Amino acid sequence: MEMSVQNITLNQEEVIEEFSHFSDWEDKYEYLIDLGKALPEFDPKYKTEFHLVKGCQSRVWLHAEVSDGRLYLSADSDTVITKGIIALLIRVLHGQKLSDIYNADLYFIEKIGLKAHLSPTRANGLASMISHIKSYAKHSPPKEDSGETPDAQQQAMIDAIKEVYDPEIPVDIWELGLIYSLTIDAQGNVNVTMTLTSPACPVAESLPMEVQEKLLALPFVKDVELSLVWDPAWSKDRMTDVARMALDMF
Domain boundary among 139, 160, 175: 139
> Measured on CA atoms in the order 151, 157, 163, 168, is the torsion positive or negative?
negative
Q: Are residues 92 and 23 in the same domain?
A: yes
Q: What is the pLDDT of residues 194-213, one digit of tens each?
A: 999 888 877 777 888 899 88
Q: What is the average per-residue pLDDT within 142-159? A: 79
What confidence score (pLDDT) does residue 146 get?
57
Task: Please report, for the domain that includes residue 121, its CATH number.
Answer: 3.90.1010.10
Mean pLDDT computed over every residue of the chain:
87
Indicate the number of domains in the chain: 2
One domain, residues 60 and 162: no
Residues 12 and 104 both lie in one domain: yes
131 and 190 belong to one structural domain: no
The answer to whether residue 145 is domain-embedded is: no
Region 44-61 average pLDDT: 84
What is the pLDDT confidence band of residue 3, given thresholds at 50, 70 and 90?
Answer: very low
pLDDT (tens digit per residue) in 211-225: 988 998 898 888 889
Mark whether 33 and 87 lie in a shared domain: yes
Asked whether residue 11 falls in the same domain as residue 132, the answer is yes
Residue 144 lies in a domain: no
User: Residues 160, 58: one domain?
Assistant: no
- Last residue within a domain, chosen from 88, 119, 139: 139
* 113 and 193 fall within a common domain: no
SS3 67: strand
Task: Answer yes or no: do 72 and 99 share one domain.
Answer: yes
Could you read off the pLDDT of 93-136 as tens digits, one per residue? 999 998 899 899 999 999 999 888 888 888 888 999 999 898 88
Q: Is it the case that residue 170 has pLDDT exceeding 90? A: no
* C-alpha 209 chain-centroid distance: 10
Say whether both 41 and 65 belong to one domain. Answer: yes
Catalytic residues: 56
Residue 141's pLDDT band (boundaries 50, 70, 90)?
low
pTM of the predicted structure, to 2 decimals: 0.64
Query: Among residues 204, 216, 139, which one has the least CA distance to residue 173?
Result: 204
Same domain, 130 and 13: yes
Last residue of a domain, one of 76, 105, 139: 139
- pLDDT band at residue 139, thresholds of 50, 70 and 90? low
Q: Provide the residue range defining the domain that includes 32.
A: 2-139
